[in-house]
Amino acid sequence: MRVLVVEDDDSIAEPLVTGLQRESFVVERVATGAAALVAAPADMVLLDLGLPDIDGYEVCRRLRAVSDVPIIVVTARGQEVDRVVGLELGADDYLVKPFGLRELVARIRAVARRSETRVVAPDQRRVGGVELDVRTRRVTVDGPEIELTRKEFDLLALLMEEPGATRTRAEIMESVWDAHWYGPTKTLDVHIAALRRKLGDPTLIETVRGIGLRLRV
């Protein structure tokens, strides 16, 4: 697996690169957001937020706009709001410094597994004016295509598997995030709010109080 490390602090980047190489990863390290945006394609991106030229959030947003590459934010910003913003912009996981190499490697492998298995059949689904194509990862609403983040697409795809069926919050977190997810629970609410806004009909995704969510038939 080829890993791109985006970290400007040499004291952190150098042992991190060495440790990942010992775990048999092919590692490229860059120190700026600009360099990250033009780096060769990678299988995984480890992204620091405190970069000297471009804010890490903006780098995450730009990477996600052009690629589905898995992104793990690695930063000293540990507030819940920082986690939510990073995940909302398309990051797949969020790790706060300081951290152990074993935990980082475990997260890299977990994110990689989820990325490999996220596409499910059938390829095309339709509910009302919403059409979703799993193979091309495109969503249209009454004709025009809308842009969704990776997690927003996966949420919608899950709910469209069985329109009208209620999915529990735990089931959604396990399917779209991870079976052992222990990050902020508010991230699901943030993604659902964004998805409702982009679909143009806040009543399309219904909240079943105390249980979970379902797609209105």
Number of domains in the chain: 2
What percentage of the chain has pLDDT greater than the value 70? 93
Q: Indicate if the pLDDT at residue 175 is higher than 70.
A: yes
Residue 184 pLDDT level (bands cut at 50, 70, 90)? low
Residue 182 pLDDT level (bands cut at 50, 70, 90)? low
3-state secondary structure 81-129: HHHHHHHHCCCCEEEECCCCHHHHHHHHHHHHHHHHHCCCCCCEEEECC
- Shared domain for 87 and 153, answered yes or no, is no
Question: In the sheet where 138-141 sits, what is the strand order?
Answer: 124-127, 130-133, 138-141, 145-146
The CATH number given to whatever domain includes residue 58 is: 3.40.50.2300
- Shared domain for 137 and 211, answered yes or no, is yes
Supply the pLDDT for residue 116. Answer: 60
Residues 99-143: pLDDT tens digits? 899 999 999 988 887 766 444 445 788 888 899 998 889 999 988
What percentage of the chain has pLDDT greater than the value 90? 48
Token pair belonging to 130: 């919403």
Strand-pairing partners, residue 200, are: none
- Shared domain for 108 and 11, answered yes or no, is yes
Determine the structural domain holding residue 60 and report its residue range: 2-117
- Shared domain for 36 and 95, answered yes or no, is yes
- Shared domain for 112 and 149, answered yes or no, is no
* Domain endpoint, select from 100, 117, 134: 117
Residue 180 pLDDT level (bands cut at 50, 70, 90)? low
- Shared domain for 100 and 147, answered yes or no, is no
- Shared domain for 111 and 131, answered yes or no, is no
- Shared domain for 88 and 134, answered yes or no, is no
Supply the pLDDT for residue 120. Answer: 44
Angle 64-139-154 from CA coordinates, rounded to 5°: 60
Model pTM score: 0.58
- Considering the chain, what is the average pLDDT of its residues? 87
- Shared domain for 45 and 100, answered yes or no, is yes
The CATH number given to whatever domain includes residue 145 is: 1.10.10.10
- Specify the DSSP element, H or E, that contains 74: strand 71-75
- Shared domain for 11 and 111, answered yes or no, is yes
- Shared domain for 52 and 155, answered yes or no, is no
Distance CA 4, CA 7 (A): 10
Residues 29-48: pLDDT tens digits? 999 999 999 999 899 999 99
